[in-house]
Every structure is written in C-alpha cells, then in structure tokens.
C-alpha cells in the first residue's frame, strides 16, 4: 500500500505541475516540485529528493523568484524537504569521504 500511495502521489504532483504550467501559476509549479522532493524522501530516494530541490532552486531563479525572494511559507516547505533528506545523505557517506569532500587533508583531526 505504501509504495502504491507514493506512486499515486508522484503522479498527482506531475499532473499538478502540468496544470499549473498551463495556468501560468509559478507558485503552483513551485509547490509541485517541492511535493516531488517530499515524495522522493518518503520513498527513500534521497539523491532524487536533493535533485528535485536543486531543480526547484534553478527553476525559481530562472523565473526571477530566486530563493531570497521566497515567502516564509515557501522557504519553510523547501527547508523541510532538505531537512528530511539530510540525515539519509550523511548516512550514505563514510566519515572519510565526508572529510575528503569537505576539503580536509587525509589524517586531519586524528591524534
């Protein structure tokens, strides 16, 4: 049931983006993209969720709705999607990889 519900939610968000595109409703499209990110997190597809968030950032910037211009409600929705994905992202990265990606030299922080 859970997987079926997630697939249905994904379909509904895809439909809503199409409808809001026809209506030229930037806020509706924005909500649809955030919805996709939240569904991806719920499905355990964290990398996909992060890609949706990146797509939202790029799309909204192209629409001259860059993140600093978002309403508090939009910012809250976006931050919730990222916050939900963040723990799973860190779980998928080893401590050594995390240090390397952060630019720390090998052996840094060890006694």
The mean pLDDT value for 61-65 works out to 88
Q: Measuring CA to CA, which residue among 67, 73, 71 is closest to residue 54?
A: 67
Domain that holds residue 59: 2-90
The verdict on residue 60 lying in a domain is yes
Q: Is the pTM of this model over 0.85?
A: no
Q: Report the distance separating Cα 59 and Cα 14, nearest Å.
A: 15
The verdict on residue 86 lying in a domain is yes
So what's the pLDDT on residue 25?
92
Q: How many domains does the chain have?
A: 1
Looking at the predicted structure, is the pLDDT value of residue 111 above 50? Answer: no
The tens digit of pLDDT for each residue in 5-31 reads 999 999 999 999 999 999 999 889 999
């Amino acid at each position: 049931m859970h997987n079926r519900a997630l697939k249905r939610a994904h379909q509904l968000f895809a439909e809503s983006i199409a409808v809001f595109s026809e209506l030229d409703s930037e806020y509706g499209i924005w909500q649809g993209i955030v919805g996709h990110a939240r569904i991806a997190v719920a499905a355990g597809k964290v990398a996909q969720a992060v890609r949706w968030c990146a797509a939202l950032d790029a799309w909204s910037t192209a629409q001259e709705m860059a993140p600093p211009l978002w309403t508090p409600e939009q910012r809250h929705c976006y931050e919730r999607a990222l916050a939900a994905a963040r723990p799973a992202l860190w779980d998928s990265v080893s401590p050594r990889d995390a240090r390397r990606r952060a630019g720390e030299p090998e052996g840094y922080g060890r006694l």
